[in-house]
A and B are shown apart, each in its own frame.
Chain A
């Protein structure tokens, strides 16, 4: 029954509400937790490592499955961002390199 509901037109909205709820729990749980326990430096370090780890785990496999143009595009985006610190330039450079690579048939 739940599967039928999820597969229907309401599915995406159920998902959005569920994801909003998970996100809100993350926002609130730190405040709730801290009024009870203290985070150890070790756990803090692990949480600090999370954002970059997630970025790599998402971008690397997806980029590699797009072949050489994909990999070159990821490298270009990271390089332009490191040099300019301007997201728009980095994204355009990355997409431009992928598009050019594909046009050249790499």
Chain B
């Protein structure tokens, strides 16, 4: 590294990060409201839904763990939920790996705090800031902390709205989770070859769903996708 000293962490950087996150606010709010509504359908209280958003702060993982949410919780249900959460958030390992050089020399508490609010959107904003020659860690922190109150507030709004509906099936609210996931596929699409692991994942998930009770099919499908991704060249130039 050419920079011997720790990266700066300025107030101006934090404000820049928040400003750069503004275009994402509508989609984060919709996602948060969808999680809140789905959580209400799953029987989470308002405080539990808001608590999950505030402490976990990882939308896709929160959504999928709703599918395996314990009613009531048992040790095996908890282990299943933790496995699913770990699998979904495994991409954060990659995200963390890419920003590690940026954090070299930064005080531990500041690194820990910045990592707590690291989400896909803030990571993208931070990576762009870096590629444009910036190195203010405040930008990465600001983008993450700026979206956090919105995420919690929209979760609560979605929960309140979702709990009002007395006939969720008639409005298809029980389907909000799979529908939202289907919508998320479009922005992830990078062509047929990178989607081969998805195909493997879908087939394995359907098969395991037939054979094994419970929600093991999510982890099984994801594992099949991971292995396919390891084995098959996705053609990405990296």
Contact = CB atoms under 8 A, between A and B. Distances in A.
Do these two chains really belong together in a complex? yes
Majority secondary structure, B binding face: helix
Given A57-B204, A57-B221, A57-B225, A78 B97 contact: no
Interface residues of A, number: 77
A44 B97 CA distance: 10
A95 B188 contact: no
A43 B230 contact: yes
B175 interface: yes
Contacts of B171: 95, 99
Contacts, number: 320
Interface residues of B, number: 105
Contact of A23 (B31, B58, B97, B101): B58
A80 to B, nearest CB: 7
A59 B73 contact: no
Majority secondary structure, A binding face: helix
B112 A80 contact: no
A52 interface: yes
Interface in A5-29: 6-7, 11-20, 22-29
B116 A27 contact: yes
B148 to A, nearest CB: 13
Interface of A: 2-3, 6-7, 11-20, 22-35, 39, 41-66, 69-70, 73-75, 77-78, 80-82, 85, 87-88, 90-91, 94-96, 98-99, 102-103
A82 B201 contact: no
Interface string B188-211: 110000110111111011100100
Contacts of A77: 179-180, 182-183
B224 A29 contact: no
B64 to A, nearest CB: 5
